[in-house]
């Protein structure tokens, strides 16, 4: 009898563990993945341990299994809550289909140490879209962002604007220069900015081709500016900002990889992710 019970609990526990792991793999955003991991992980693990105790039944085995299950039940919710809070505070983007963010205004997002200021974005859940502003940063995810923005503008009959910005400040910062190296540093700066202009021209071309193919009117604004404050300025009511997931306005030329999501949350621009893919574009509602 105990053998049958043991086999039943073992398989049930392992199956629950597998469901949880598939959830961790397949669900679209961080918070849902966390819910899958903690919820089903504990139940699956607990059932499996009960199965083990049925396979070798003895008082001290049962006591140890009971202690292990009690410990799991006690700690996993705490760990899950801590991780979710940390992720929210750090500014992990929510799934694009999220309808309500009840923590908005309760917890700070992005920069943890500075006081919370006025928070643009996500004030209305079903905004009217009059302008689609697409950030033309060269790098991974730009194709997805262009096609998303063009489709969005076409669907809502909105004005389509391509923003081609060069983050000259980041590119000019080439790091410490040895004595006598200023000539070469200046040369390096000029080459980097020229390269960034060339890459940007390619991205603008990509955007223009896509917009022409879709047959919708568009305009391109070229600017040399600090990107995040500039984006924030453009983000008025009725406009939607679309940015590629893995690219920033250094056009991939800064010596460190810049994560657009963290840049935006540092400037307290609330963002959502459009869809569950890893290169799904970042979307900000004005």
Can you give the length of the chain in residues? 286
Report d(CA 133, CA 283) in Å as an integer.
10
CA distance 9 to 143: 48
Residue 22 found at the interface with other proteins (CB under 8 A): yes
The window from 16-24, 130-138, 188-196, 232-240 that contacts other proteins (CB under 8 A) reads 16-24
Binding mask 153-192 for other proteins (x = CB under 8 A): ----------------------------------------
DSSP class of 104: B
Site size for other proteins, by CB under 8 A? Answer: 67
Q: How far is the CB of 268 from other proteins (least distance, A)?
A: 11
Residue at token pair 């200046």: 186
Binding status of residue 92 toward other proteins by CB under 8 A: yes
Q: Say whether residue 30 binds other proteins (CB under 8 A).
A: yes
- CB-CB contact of 281 with 148 (8 Å): yes
* Residue 20 touching other proteins (CB under 8 A): yes
Of the candidates 211, 218, 201, 131, the one whose C-alpha atom is nearest the C-alpha of residue 166 is: 201
Could you say which residues in the range 99-158 bind other proteins, by CB under 8 A? 110-113
In angstroms, the CA 279 to CA 286 distance is 22
CA distance 59 to 65: 10
CB of 58 to other proteins, least distance (A): 8
CA distance 230 to 215: 28
Q: Decide if residue 52 touches other proteins (CB under 8 A).
A: yes
β-bridge pairing 282-285 and 218-224: unpaired
Q: What is the C-alpha separation between 214 and 179, in angstroms, rounded?
A: 54
Q: How far is the CB of 123 from other proteins (least distance, A)?
A: 24
Residue 260 lies near other proteins (rule: CB under 8 A): no
Instruction: Give residues in contact with other proteins (CB under 8 A).
Output: 3-4, 6-8, 10-11, 13-15, 17-18, 20-22, 24-25, 30, 33-34, 37-38, 41-42, 44-45, 48-49, 51-52, 55-56, 58, 61, 64-65, 67-68, 71-72, 75-76, 78-80, 82-83, 85-87, 89-92, 110-113, 245, 256, 258-259, 261-262, 265-266, 278
């Amino acid at each position: 009898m105990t053998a049958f019970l043991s086999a039943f609990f073992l398989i049930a526990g392992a199956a629950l563990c597998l469901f949880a792991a598939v959830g961790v793999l397949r669900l679209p955003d961080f918070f849902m993945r966390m819910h899958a991991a903690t919820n089903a992980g504990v139940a699956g693990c607990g059932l499996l341990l009960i199965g083990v105790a049925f396979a070798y039944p003895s008082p001290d085995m049962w006591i140890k299994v009971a202690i292990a299950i009690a410990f799991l039940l006690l700690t996993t919710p705490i760990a899950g809550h801590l991780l979710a809070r940390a992720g929210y505070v750090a500014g992990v983007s929510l799934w694009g289909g999220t309808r309500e963010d009840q923590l908005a205004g309760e917890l700070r997002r992005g920069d943890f140490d500075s006081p919370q200021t006025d928070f643009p974005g996500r004030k209305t859940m079903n905004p009217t879209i009059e302008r689609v502003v697409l950030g033309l940063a060269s790098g991974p995810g730009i194709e997805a962002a262009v096609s998303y923005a063009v489709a969005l503008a076409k669907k809502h009959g909105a004005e389509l604007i391509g923003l081609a910005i060069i983050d000259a400040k980041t590119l000019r910062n080439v790091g410490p220069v040895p004595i006598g190296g200023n000539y070469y540093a200046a040369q390096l700066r000029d080459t980097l900015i020229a390269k960034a202009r060339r890459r940007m021209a390619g991205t603008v071309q990509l955007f223009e081709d896509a917009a022409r193919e879709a047959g919708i009117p568009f305009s391109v604004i070229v600017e040399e500016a600090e990107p995040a404050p500039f984006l924030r300025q453009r983000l008025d009511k009725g406009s939607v900002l679309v940015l590629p997931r893995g690219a920033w306005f250094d056009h991939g030329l800064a010596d460190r990889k810049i994560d657009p999501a963290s840049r935006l949350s540092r400037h307290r621009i609330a963002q959502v992710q459009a869809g569950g893919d890893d290169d799904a574009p970042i979307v900000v509602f004005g």
